[in-house]
Structure 1
Amino acid sequence: MELKREFFYEEVQDGFYIPSIMKRAWGAGLTILSEVDRICRKYEIPYYAGYGTLLGAVRSSSFIPWDDDIDLMMLRSDFNRFLSVAEKELPEELALDSLETNPDFWGMNPCVRSAVLCFHPKLFSKYREFPYHAFVDIFPLDELAEDPEEERQRENKVHLLFQMMKKVEGREGEPAKWEEELKQIEKLFSVQLDRRRSILTQLSGVMDRVYQEFNGRGGNTLTFMPLYMMRKDRYPRAVFEKREWAPFCNLSLPIPSGYDRLLQCTYGDYHKKVKAGGEHDYPYFKEKEQELAKMLGRERFFSYTFKKEDLERPKVQSFRDLTFLTADYLLEKSKSLAEQIQRGNASPALSELPLLQETAISLGTAIEQKKGKEKESVSILERYCEALYEAYLTLQEGPSGDASGELVAEQLATEQVAVEQIAADQLIKAGNCLKNLKEALERDCKRQVVFLPHSAKHFASLRPLIDALQEREDTEVKLMPIPYFDRMGDGSLSEMHYEGEDFPKEYPITDYRSYNFAAELPDCIVMNSPYDAFNPVWSVDPFFYSEKLKQYTNKLVYIPWFVTDEIDPENPEDGKAFYNMRYYVTVPGVFHADYTIVQSEEMREAYLEKISRFLEGEEENLEGKAENGDSLQRKDACLKERSIDELMQMMQQKILGAGSCLLGEKEGQGTKEVVMYFLQLLSK
């Protein structure tokens, strides 16, 4: 089964951010699904997409954005047929987990899962380099009794078993405490429980037998019993009489011909998109993340660890700032030397005028090299240098003297004063040359803003801002697409991609290979990739990591390439979205950037709440993490250098809820607001 490389990149669907690691989980699940499909086709075993997978297939031919697994339905008789052939047909790295195949199984439903973490190169590649166990859930459907009284009695039995399982769970070594209750269950269900084996697993087996109690009667209503017990889901048998095939990612997936009725029975108005369920156990692999991080090391695991140095800012002056500082220096120094000469102290000028001239020449040469020849500021500096040279020659020659080379003291003093006045006037003339230099520099050395998108499809998030800046006479815009690389599961970079040719042709492209950041020192660099080395699926060229970019500008700005629905950290329904913020908020770029412009003030608060929890250690990501995982030690490691409150005060200054160009003309958080905030940042 082939999946395009773009399938694995993070994206936003229906206002929900899907991280790249989830895309790998989807890819691994689809690979397992292809094996299940192969077996079912071979043995003509019907199966159906179910629950979230069916919903995604019908609505978008793909996963629901906030779903993390694949759900299949089978009639119980068909599942039993699948069970009979699965062991010999599944590849050795996969296993069917069920009561019938695993003596320790007591889950809610069977699943086909990867039996081991697939770090073998061939397996890792086959399962899309997803580092955790992947699986496909199977939900066997059983018959409901036609007689309501019979069904009520079964529900009572299930409830009794469920309560007993709750007592036993986590306390398997204490069966004597429930001996009387266990004897009652044995009598009621005609079973013999082995006290030396897992009571929980045996009770699950009894429960499963009760689920199947009315199968074979030809009932008209089916259900997956655990869900029936929780929310009374029930499905007409008629919806499963025929199958249709629907596209799903790169597969063709069987769905019940009566899918509309089935989805209504399950979700009601299933066309209404609801991010139900909160964070809870989303994503299913999150408990394994810490385990794998400890095994592999955090750098290898693509998990960013905050360091206090990430908030430190090297002092960088842009080329434009340096030209204005140099102009101020030349003007002040010329004035100072003229005053010294007028006071009769000409000797320092003879040694300092050549240095002053060299500074002016260097400035003019730099402007000529970076901004082109025939700039007004260069002409002004040339006239300035000529005036300096005249002043230097005047001072060097001194009084002319008589034929004998001797002057009386009075005449010598008089002529010396005259020479110094001439030199002072020449320096004043030189200073006058500089009066218009700043105005010329404003025209010749505009503020330079460099945009570093890596993907042409993300250009929309920057385009209106670029358009607005290009209209300004005081700003020079450099659009510089940068290369990016696919990343293998072991962290190595593979194929390089450069999309410069895919950007709109009306925008001039600056070649990243010919631009010298260290020499240019732009006033502002705008990035929309904040991940540095911590995206497991792709990476920009390491030269363009945020940690390095801030060495070349005094303003590094991060503008996300996406917008999501608003996220309320306190709303359980936003739990999954808030969890996924770890993949784009607690990443290097947000900490290294001088400013991050997000879509709204509400989203700014969500960013800050995520960062606060991250710094407090709730997300298991603080520098100096103790080996034993003690949260107080982790927190202390940060507090030694700077308190959480101080760090948060810094981040509050960095995160701006200005808006997003992707919101267009939306009042209060659209393009107009982004442009306004950005211009304010440039002028700081």
Structure 2
Amino acid sequence: MGGEDHMQFPDSFFEDEVRDGFYVPAIIKRGWAAQMELLEDIAAICKKHHIRWFAMWGTLLGAVRHGGFIPWDDDIDIAMLRDDYNRFMSVARQELPEGYYLPLRGNIDTSNMVSAVWNGTEFPLKGALLEKFHGYFFPQGIDIFPFDYAAPNPEDEQLQRELLSITFEIKASVGRNEDTDKLNAVITSLEEMLRITFDKNKPLEEQLDVLIEQLSSLYTARDATEVMYTPDWYSGKPFKWPASYFQNLRMLPFEGFELPVPSGYEDILKVRYGNYMELCYSGGCHNYPIYRNLEKQVDNAAVDRLLYTYHISAGDIKRPDSQTAAAPEKLVEQFLLLTEKLHTQIAQAIFSENPEQAKTLLELCQQSAIQVGDLLEKKWGARLHTVALLEQYCELIWQIYEPLAQGGGPLLDMSGIQMHLGALRDQISTCAGEELGRKREVVFLPWKASGWSILKPLWEAAQHDPDCTSYVIPIPYCYKNLDGGMKTIQYEGELFPDDTAITDYRSYDLQNRRPDVIIIQNPYDGHNLTTSVPPSFYAANLKQYTDKLVYVPYFTLDEIRPGNKKAFINMEHYVSMPGVVHADIVIVQSEQMRQSYIDFLVKSAGEDTKQIWEEKITCNSRIPFLKTK
């Protein structure tokens, strides 16, 4: 760590990602990068002034177990031995970039037992500062914990504990405004014991904080062989380790970089966490995500704009009837049913000498034939004989219509009209049945090759279904600039297995072909910080071109157990999304995940929407393959 240039991360680093079964949203990834950038500034100061620092607590655990951040954590913790900590506190304010913030004597109410360097105090970050911190709008802080040398023997340790206990109790009593005479007596006793005098002209609490710091750092490397974090030791936790662990450091990988860690990190983690390699989604002493409290400082609309927040609306939840798309093959069926009735009505209108009604009905027949023919030609090309028959049908309609338009009688009598129209209609029906068949068309629109393994069983089922024709059409996506603009197009079609037939997304016209089923894997539409597919592939648009829009997540998660609040919170980044809301069917990984989706969506959209989600969301155990019949 350390250097003058901004840290470089690949665009892919900022994508939403599943790590160890936990969904990490893009905003957290930006926060990670911002934390690393802030740590870079701290490390540069330490390098300049020969100050030793090392990763601790969750950051140390993340480096060892994950090679980076714990997926469900969003801050960095570092520590320094007390001498290094004091030197850092003495030089940091002069060395830190303009606008940074460092408390004078540690964080509030910590008695200088922990401090934090912040990259600013105002939200949102803007301009060069926003760019430096990789688009993370919220101020970031890194906690720095001072570690002290432990008392060299039990007698000194007991005395140190008693003195700290008295001092902490006095500080607590001052805060509670307790009996003044009794408090003054305790203060006097402490002054006599330590041969000190508190300045009555200065705030007592500040002087007590200084005393707590002095009592915590009574011993030095010459006196002691162990190191401790005083608040943990004072509260009775057995967290003391050999001083050599912190005097000799090692480097471990962390998010593509390296961090210094105590040489005895395995022992530290074992004492602190027990079986530290076992995943545990709880832990951490702050609210998650850490930026949530900062959101409350500005209006909701501003936060929504910054985070591209999507809000579920009643109009999105249910498909309007007007948006139900019809495939050209279905339009043929509708045309045949419609004209069967119209032919009889045309003959009756002519027989009743009602030419205006007859002309209106003939115009309707011709318009229907032209519409169906155009759609079939766009989807299948002019090679279809069905299209040629529809053209003949239009010519016959014109032959009947023209004499009526000229004010004369029809060339054919009523029975002749019905016979000729009916015969040609029957030819269209037979030819369409042979050429178009009854196969349903299913289109798969993956965007990440890594997610294809989840769709592949559905595709294989469609491949083996004799009544189904399927297409795999990987769609492109772009990474976003910080201003929301699009970078270079990304396309992963070449990364799919060789046994998967790929159709180029530019060669398949969804609007005109109108497949029976479209299956998508991107839920975000325009509501993701890092990536976007083209708007033509947004779920809100795709549902106009099919009778059934199906969403299948491109990732698999660990099940969200009761009490896993962090995982539940992050569902807003992939469940409350357009792909889920606009889809007619959502297929998730398990019954338990299905219930998690339903619970979250009901909480987000209201109890009155529960039945909608229960009908829409299914799982692999309920639908082993996509039924296309």
Pairwise TM-score range, normalised by the shorter structure: 0.7 to 0.9
Name the counterpart of 1:364: 373
Amino acid at match of 2:372: L
Instruction: Single out whichever of 119-128 and 385-394 deviates more from structure 2.
Output: 385-394
Contact map agreement 2:73 2:284 (CA 8 A) in 1: no
Name the counterpart of 2:3: none
CA shift digits 1:61-120 (9 cap, x unpaired): 2112122111222222222232333233222233444626x7886575122221334734
Name the counterpart of 2:13: 7
Q: Equivalent of 1:40, from 43, 46, 56?
A: 46
Q: Which SS does the other structure have where 2:227 is aligned?
A: strand
Name the counterpart of 1:553: 546
Rounded to whole Å, the distance in 2 between the matches of 1:487 and 1:194 is: 58
Instruction: Single out whichever of 266-275 and 1-10 deviates more from structure 2.
Output: 266-275
Aligned pair 1:594/2:587, yes or no? no
Shift of 1:46: 2.3
Shift of 1:584: 1.4
Aligned pair 1:425/2:419, yes or no? yes
Q: Equivalent of 1:212, from 194, 208, 217?
A: 217
Q: Equivalent of 1:652, from 590, 614, 623?
A: 614
Name the counterpart of 1:544: 537
Q: Which SS does the other structure have where 1:138 is aligned?
A: strand
Contact map agreement 1:388 1:426 (CA 8 A) in 2: no
Amino acid at match of 1:111: A
Rounded to whole Å, the distance in 1 between the matches of 2:111 and 2:143 is: 14
Instruction: Single out whichever of 550-559 and 2-11 deviates more from structure 2.
Output: 550-559
Instruction: Could you tell me which runs of 5 or more consecutive residues in structure 2 were left unpaired when the two chains were aligned.
Output: 1-6
Rounded to whole Å, the distance in 2 between the matches of 1:354 and 1:216 is: 100
Q: Equivalent of 2:327, from 319, 327, 330?
A: 319
Rounded to whole Å, the distance in 1 between the matches of 2:225 and 2:493 is: 60
Q: Equivalent of 1:123, from 103, 125, 129?
A: 129
Contact map agreement 2:14 2:30 (CA 8 A) in 1: yes
Instruction: Single out whichever of 16-25 and 241-250 deviates more from structure 2.
Output: 241-250
Cα 1:224/1:556, change in 2 over 3 Å: same
Name the counterpart of 1:493: 485
Name the counterpart of 1:50: 56
Amino acid at match of 1:578: F
Contact map agreement 2:118 2:142 (CA 8 A) in 1: yes
Rounded to whole Å, the distance in 2 between the matches of 1:580 and 1:535 is: 13
Name the counterpart of 1:267: 273
Contact map agreement 1:335 1:428 (CA 8 A) in 2: no
Name the counterpart of 1:329: 338
Aligned pair 1:222/2:227, yes or no? yes
Shift of 1:18: 0.8
Cα 1:299/1:355, change in 2 over 3 Å: same
CA shift digits 1:209-239 (9 cap, x unpaired): 3322344553222111222344322212232
Cα 1:557/1:41, change in 2 over 3 Å: same
Residues 40-439 of structure 1 correspond to what in structure 2 (within 5 A)? 40-97=46-103, 99=105, 108-117=113-122, 119-159=125-165, 161-162=167-168, 175=177, 180-181=182-183, 184-185=186-187, 187-188=189-190, 202-216=207-221, 218-230=223-235, 231-277=237-283, 281-294=287-300, 296=302, 298-314=304-320, 315=322, 316-320=324-328, 321-334=330-343, 337=346, 340=348, 352-353=361-362, 355-375=364-384, 377-378=386-387, 381=390, 419-436=413-430, 439=433
Q: Which SS does the other structure have where 1:132 is aligned?
A: coil
Rounded to whole Å, the distance in 2 between the matches of 1:354 and 1:333 is: 11
Instruction: Single out whichever of 549-558 and 131-140 deviates more from structure 2.
Output: 549-558
Instruction: Single out whichever of 434-443 and 86-95 deviates more from structure 2.
Output: 434-443
Instruction: Single out whichever of 429-438 and 229-238 deviates more from structure 2.
Output: 429-438
Amino acid at match of 1:53: T
Q: Equivalent of 2:595, from 595, 598, 605?
A: 605
Scaled by the length of structure 1, the TM-score of the pair is 0.78
Cα 1:194/1:551, change in 2 over 3 Å: farther
Residues 505-544 of structure 1 correspond to what in structure 2 (within 5 A)? 507=500, 509-513=502-506, 515-544=508-537
Contact map agreement 1:567 1:578 (CA 8 A) in 2: yes
Contact map agreement 1:525 1:555 (CA 8 A) in 2: yes
RMSD: 3.8
Q: Which SS does the other structure have where 2:614 is aligned?
A: helix
Amino acid at match of 1:305: H
Shift of 1:7: 1.0
Shift of 1:187: 3.7
Contact map agreement 1:341 1:423 (CA 8 A) in 2: no
Name the counterpart of 2:4: none
Cα 1:312/1:221, change in 2 over 3 Å: same
Rounded to whole Å, the distance in 2 between the matches of 1:324 and 1:203 is: 87
Aligned-residue identity in percent:
32
Amino acid at match of 1:188: L
Contact map agreement 2:342 2:361 (CA 8 A) in 1: no
Q: Equivalent of 1:583, from 573, 593, 618?
A: 573
Shift of 1:514: 5.6
Amino acid at match of 1:55: L
Rounded to whole Å, the distance in 2 between the matches of 1:456 and 1:600 is: 22
Shift of 1:509: 4.6
Shift of 1:579: 1.5
Aligned pair 1:566/2:559, yes or no? yes
Shift of 1:204: 3.8
Name the counterpart of 1:29: 35
Instruction: Single out whichever of 4-13 and 512-521 deviates more from structure 2.
Output: 512-521
Cα 1:98/1:15, change in 2 over 3 Å: farther
Amino acid at match of 2:273: Y
Cα 1:596/1:198, change in 2 over 3 Å: farther
Contact map agreement 2:448 2:554 (CA 8 A) in 1: no
Contact map agreement 1:364 1:381 (CA 8 A) in 2: yes
Cα 1:10/1:358, change in 2 over 3 Å: closer
Scaled by the length of structure 2, the TM-score of the pair is 0.85
Instruction: Single out whichever of 477-486 and 234-243 deviates more from structure 2.
Output: 477-486
Rounded to whole Å, the distance in 1 between the matches of 2:278 and 2:504 is: 46
Amino acid at match of 1:426: H
Q: Which SS does the other structure have where 1:12 is aligned?
A: strand
Rounded to whole Å, the distance in 2 between the matches of 1:541 and 1:11 is: 20
Cα 1:392/1:116, change in 2 over 3 Å: closer
Q: Which SS does the other structure have where 1:298 is aligned?
A: helix
Cα 1:278/1:268, change in 2 over 3 Å: closer
Q: Which SS does the other structure have where 2:465 is aligned?
A: coil
CA shift digits 1:573-619 (9 cap, x unpaired): x121112112212233322222222111111111222223324xxxx
Amino acid at match of 1:285: Y
Shift of 1:370: 1.0
Instruction: Single out whichever of 424-433 and 264-273 deviates more from structure 2.
Output: 424-433
Rounded to whole Å, the distance in 1 between the matches of 2:319 and 2:88 is: 61
Question: How many residue pairs get matched?
Answer: 613
Rounded to whole Å, the distance in 1 between the matches of 2:481 and 2:185 is: 55
Contact map agreement 1:559 1:597 (CA 8 A) in 2: yes
Rounded to whole Å, the distance in 1 between the matches of 2:511 and 2:141 is: 49
Contact map agreement 1:17 1:564 (CA 8 A) in 2: yes
Shift of 1:394: 12
CA shift digits 1:629-663 (9 cap, x unpaired): xxxxxxxxxxxxxxx3322222222222x13xxxx
Rounded to whole Å, the distance in 2 between the matches of 1:503 and 1:200 is: 64
CA shift digits 1:423-477 (9 cap, x unpaired): 4433443453355366347527x43333333333333332332333244344343
Rounded to whole Å, the distance in 2 between the matches of 1:258 and 1:183 is: 45
CA shift digits 1:238-273 (9 cap, x unpaired): 323422222222322222222222222222222222
Cα 1:122/1:472, change in 2 over 3 Å: same
Shift of 1:9: 1.0
Name the counterpart of 2:455: 462
Shift of 1:510: 4.5
Rounded to whole Å, the distance in 1 between the matches of 2:188 and 2:441 is: 81
Instruction: Could you tell me which runs of 5 or more consecutive residues in structure 1 were left unpaired when the two chains were aligned.
Output: 401-415, 616-643, 660-667
